[in-house]
Chains A and B, each alone.
Chain A
């Protein structure tokens, strides 16, 4: 079965932490470095999330994502090093092209932030079973209906993508060209996606009715087949994480 989920089985301590705590962690690694706006905070969060990724044993999975982003980050170094509006102090030169210290530092901050976001999000996605994540959110008050959307999308997308292979074969046998001039390629786009899109939209009607006859709109309080494990330190960790966020906001405004 193809699923979009990137969850990796494992028994690290990170795997045992509850999904909500991990979500809060992701939020603060995105927010705090922006709120603080300092190189140190960005660096600190990168180290923390990188350490956690290593403890979780998923560093090998994270590297390709890091690599993919690095291409863009190289252009960030070049552009900011050359043209950052605060550039004053030449740092080094290649021929006549001068790179400035301010721009390079700014690029470094961007890189640290981006890498720490990648690491903390990866932590969540590689160590959390999607169904646990959705159930945790629903138990915290997310509407079960939105919960349904999240869990079904992970399976419905691969199902829809598998129809794509069929389309490609069919269109190829009819002599459709995926190569050629720009206008030729853009004209190939509609016959490729049109049928798949329309039939998947038509299917939504029967899908919706099939859910309704299974009491999807029921007024009863939903119960869960899987009772989910509880994590002992969830409350403590969540409160600490949120306190850190509040402290960083206060610090920012005091300064």
Chain B
């Protein structure tokens, strides 16, 4: 039985319905992170879960819609960062597909990769829209420190973003992976829309 390519996806109703739920999970994560005053965002758990369950494209769309909705209902600037969310959805989906989520230690490495990619995508946006800052106290302190030493803005901004993103994405990947492992097979199997109906 040949494995279907991760890109050849059919927009099944099941994967479509996963998207609003994924966005809702992102909101729940964000809400509890601030309730517990955690120094992390934890606002992409749903995006990552949808990638793990239904592949990179569904994950990317979940990410995009997440930021569009958040941008249109709370914080307009987050519209711009839809691009970062798309990158997160794609990366997690691809890593899941090539089997990087096999163990907790692999999940940590995956989190690192996702964090780096998120930082790479966000840095130009930070530079264009915020002059390089992220709005996070710790990250921005580093940004100020590096800028004061005449380190180029791109590097300073990247460092700022890394400090913010990498720990957050590692934590988010670990949480999502833990939840994913706890999902019943009867649920995850409906997203494997590769199978043909077999004759009995």
A and B touch in the complex (CB under 8 A): yes
Point out residues on A near B: beta carbons under 8 Å.
Answer: 4-6, 30, 34, 65, 68-69, 72, 75-76, 78-80, 82-85, 106-107, 110, 113-114, 117-118, 121-122, 124-125, 145-146, 148-150, 152-154, 156-157, 159-161, 164, 168, 178, 182, 185-186, 188-190, 192-194, 196-198, 200-205, 207-209, 211-212, 216-217
Q: Which residues, 12 to 36 on B, are CB-close (under 8 Å) to A?
A: 12-14, 16-21, 23-25, 27-29, 31-33, 35-36
Q: Which of B42, B77, B143, B182 contacts A189 (CB 8 A)?
A: B42
| Cross-chain contact B20 with A193 (CB below 8 angstroms) | no
| Cross-chain contact B147 with A75 (CB below 8 angstroms) | no
| Cross-chain contact A80 with B178 (CB below 8 angstroms) | no
Most buried by A among B25, B28, B147: B28
Q: Once the chains are docked, how many angstroms separate the CA of A64 from the CA of B179?
A: 36
Q: Which of B13, B36, B179 contacts A185 (CB 8 A)?
A: B36
A118 CB contacts on chain B under 8 angstroms: 76-77
What are 25 A-B residue pairs whose CB atoms fall within 8 Å in the complex?
A6-B73, A68-B75, A83-B144, A85-B150, A125-B76, A148-B16, A149-B20, A149-B61, A153-B20, A156-B20, A156-B21, A157-B27, A160-B25, A164-B28, A164-B31, A178-B36, A185-B36, A189-B38, A193-B175, A194-B179, A197-B49, A201-B21, A201-B53, A209-B13, A211-B13
A124 CB contacts on chain B under 8 angstroms: 72
Segment touching A, from B89-97, B103-111, B125-133: B125-133
Contact with A along B39-81 (1 / 0, CB 8 A): 1001001100100010000000100010011011101110110
| Cross-chain contact A121 with B79 (CB below 8 angstroms) | yes
| Cross-chain contact B131 with A117 (CB below 8 angstroms) | no
Q: Once the chains are docked, how many angstroms separate the CA of A5 from the CA of B35?
A: 23
| Cross-chain contact B20 with A79 (CB below 8 angstroms) | no
Most buried by A among B14, B143, B190: B14
The answer to the question of B138 belonging to the interface, with a C-beta cut-off of 8 Å to chain A, is no
The answer to the question of B197 belonging to the interface, with a C-beta cut-off of 8 Å to chain A, is no
B44–chain A nearest beta-carbon distance, Å: 13
| Cross-chain contact B28 with A160 (CB below 8 angstroms) | yes
Contact with A along B132-175 (1 / 0, CB 8 A): 01010000100110011010110000000000000000010001
A76 CB contacts on chain B under 8 angstroms: 130-131, 133
B45 CB contacts on chain A under 8 angstroms: 193, 197
| Cross-chain contact A114 with B190 (CB below 8 angstroms) | no
B41–chain A nearest beta-carbon distance, Å: 12
The answer to the question of B198 belonging to the interface, with a C-beta cut-off of 8 Å to chain A, is no
- Dominant secondary structure at the B interface: helix
Q: 3 closest Cβ contacts across the A-B interface?
A: A121-B76, A83-B147, A160-B24
The answer to the question of B183 belonging to the interface, with a C-beta cut-off of 8 Å to chain A, is yes
A200 CB contacts on chain B under 8 angstroms: 21, 24-25
Q: Once the chains are docked, how many angstroms separate the CA of A196 from the CA of B52?
A: 18
A196 CB contacts on chain B under 8 angstroms: 28
Q: Once the chains are docked, how many angstroms separate the CA of A124 from the CA of B79?
A: 13
Q: Once the chains are docked, how many angstroms separate the CA of A107 from the CA of B131?
A: 8
Q: Which residues, 98 to 122 on B, are CB-close (under 8 Å) to A?
A: none
Evaluate whether A198 and B179 lie within 8 angstroms (CB atoms) in the complex, with A72-B135, A154-B69 already known.
Answer: yes
Q: Once the chains are docked, how many angstroms separate the CA of A138 from the CA of B186?
A: 33
Evaluate whether A217 and B13 lie within 8 angstroms (CB atoms) in the complex, with A68-B75, A79-B147, A83-B148 already known.
Answer: yes
